[in-house]
Structure 1
Amino acid sequence: MWHRDTLTLSARKRGFHLISDEVEQALAEMPPVSVGLLHVQLLHTSASLTLNENADPDVRHDMDAFLRRLVPGNLPYFRHTLEGDDDMPAHVFASLLGTQLTLPVEARRGVNRLALGTWQGIWLGEHRDHGGSRRLCLTLSGE
């Protein structure tokens, strides 16, 4: 069985945001599978997806602080600057972290759920100061 939906996330400020609940809500509305995989593809080039700590928001803060120091927006050798100082670093971060995840799915009481570790959550990395809404392509495969 294959099923595909698009999930639109509201605009968020620059930083890392836990979006597991939004993805799980969309997953629960898909046809149930006993076992499967959910492929999540972010349809943008200046944001990212990653699987990381879901409990302490300081981890998300620290990751953002590290990346901003690693690739600041005012590097003199960047040529792609027409969209602002935050755009080229955003593309670098999206390439480093990635824009897709493939996650295990299981049905619990007939409802699809992500089969993640206790402390794992899906993060949206918003790397622009004003990135706007973001779209995810969710593809479920399973039986």
Structure 2
Amino acid sequence: MAINTIEIKTNGEGFVDITTQIRELIPKDKTGVLFIQNTHTSCGLVINESFDPLAKKDMENFLKHLAPENLKFIEHTDEGPDDSPSHMKAILVQQTMSLLVEKGHLQLGQWQGVYLCEFRRSPKLRRILTKFISD
């Protein structure tokens, strides 16, 4: 099967649930692995709770706390004060994922969702590459 591209328009910093877009790429009745790869250096991927919106907000705030914009040692600010912190946050989350699929169904836990984590303040068009490999 071919490599597919998902385009995601973000509204700026925050987690975007992309579980539905991921599920749409899975062939019906197929079992295998769906590989996902981020193509950017200032965002990332994560699987985590998708039921309670407060959990998403907590995760966003946690990463802001770990890499705030006001760190004195930051030098890479070519694209603004959120430039270097966005790269720091991106190294704390995943850039690739391997997701198991059984008979056309993504094997996530009951409360799990797949997120694109946008770490830049301004809206962006992000591209995620995917490839499904079946048994």
Q: CA deviation at 1:33?
A: 5.6
1:55 is matched with 51
Counterpart CA distance in 2 for 1:13 and 1:59 is 19
* Residue 133 (structure 2) pairs with residue 141 (structure 1): yes
Give 1:49 deviation, angstroms. Answer: 0.3
TM-score normalised by length of structure 1: 0.87
Q: Specify which of 98, 108, 122 is matched with residue 114 of structure 2.
A: 122
Unmatched runs of 5 consecutive residues or more in structure 1: none
State the 4+ residue runs in structure 1 displaced beyond 6 angstroms: none
Query: Quick one: distance in 2 between partners of 1:73 and 1:17?
Result: 21
- Alignment size in residue pairs: 135
Identity between Structure 1 and Structure 2 (%): 36
State the partner residue of 1:6.
Answer: 5
CA distance in 2, matches of 1:60, 1:73: 20
- In 2: Cα distance, 1:12 partner to 1:100 partner: 22
1:101 is matched with 97
CA RMSD in angstroms, aligned pairs only: 1.5
Partner SS state of residue 3, structure 1: coil
TM-score by length of 2: 0.92
The one-letter code of the counterpart of 1:93 is K
